Amino acid sequence: MLAKRIIPCLDVRNGRVVKGTRFAEIQDAGDPVELAAFYDLAGADEIVFYDITASAEGRRTMIEVARRAAEQVFIPFTVGGGVSDVQQMRALLSAGADKISINSAAVRRPDLINEGAERFGSQCVVLSIDCLRRTRPDGSVWWEVVIDGGRVPTGMDVLRWAEEGVRRGAGELVLNSIDADGTKDGYDNDLNRTVAERVDVPVIASGGAGTLQHLVDGIRAGKADAVLAASIFHFGQYTIAEAKAYMRAAGIPVR
């Protein structure tokens, strides 16, 4: 049976991991590649390198990160952050990245999804959506697409954008809840379930994980195919093995 995935996400700035990590096993906790190789050995199912450098130089650094990761990381890895054209996608994929995650640039120019899917295949194109929970006057809930690191609202409905993204060729969706991000109160399971029930590609829950039960809830209540997390792993609060054991005990198929 297909396993549900646990995906640690590493924020990278100028080629270095941004948030500090606390692992005795890691010599250079700031090196994204060494950290990713550690997560591979620890049982992570995939890795996401998210470039928060907002410069061309930062993006060149990410190509080097992908190149080095291909030599030491033997699970799939995704590179995202600031990717805005197929040339950048091509450079990262040929360096060894398995998937490219696109976000604001796809909102500005949706054809980027089609172009990436046509040239490299849908399996390479991950559409990442930053989502803000909104309430209509009648009390019903919807989610608004926000871009540029969650700063700029677009008026677009997340569900509509997710469906359009899949139609255009996105192979997976990452739903990052701006409301839940950093709260450690759990994923926005309403958001993830609403989208997962309407699309036929994997949905990856992101933002808000603070406990192992949150990972289980993300899969069960949120109907996500994978859970993305950062701080609960980076700071040594839980190991990947503990997370897998907890999910397995809850009856979720894991590797």
Partner 1 sequence: MIAIIDYGMGNLRSVEKALTYVGAEAVITQDPAVLERAAGVILPGVGAFAQAMANLRAAGLIDPIHQALASGKPFLGICLGLQLLFETSEERFDDGPELPRGLGALRGRVRRFPDGLKVPQIGWNTLRFPKETRLFAGIEPGSHVYFVHSYYAEPADSSVTAAVTEYGIEYCSAVEVDNVMAVQFHPEKSSRVGLQILSNFAALCR
Given the rule CB under 8 A, which residues bind partner 1? 1-3, 5, 40-41, 45, 70-72, 74-76, 93-96, 98, 121-123, 171-172, 200-202, 225-226, 255
Q: Is the dihedral of CA 191, 192, 196, 197 positive or negative?
A: negative
Q: Where are the beta strands (DSSP E) in the chain?
A: 5-13, 16-17, 47-51, 77-80, 99-102, 125-135, 141-147, 152-157, 172-177, 203-206, 226-229
| Residue 10 near residue 231, CB atoms below 8 Å | no
CB atoms within 10 A of CB 221: 16
Residue 27 CB, nearest approach to partner 1 (Å):
19
Nearer to partner 1, 25 or 200 (CB): 200
| Element housing 190 (H / E) | helix 189-196
Q: Is 225 a catalytic residue?
A: no
Give a three-class secondary structure readout of 149-164.
CCCEEEEEEHHHHHHH
Residue 69 CB, nearest approach to partner 1 (Å):
9
* β partners of residue 7: 228
Q: Which of 51, 130, 188, 217 is catalytic?
A: 130
Nearer to partner 1, 53 or 206 (CB): 206
Instruction: List C-alpha distances in Å: 26 to 13, 20, 23, 233.
Output: 19, 12, 5, 13
Residue 141 CB, nearest approach to partner 1 (Å):
25
Residue 110 CB, nearest approach to partner 1 (Å):
21
Q: Is 28 a catalytic residue?
A: no
Residue 75 CB, nearest approach to partner 1 (Å):
5
User: Catalytic residues, which ones?
Assistant: 11, 130
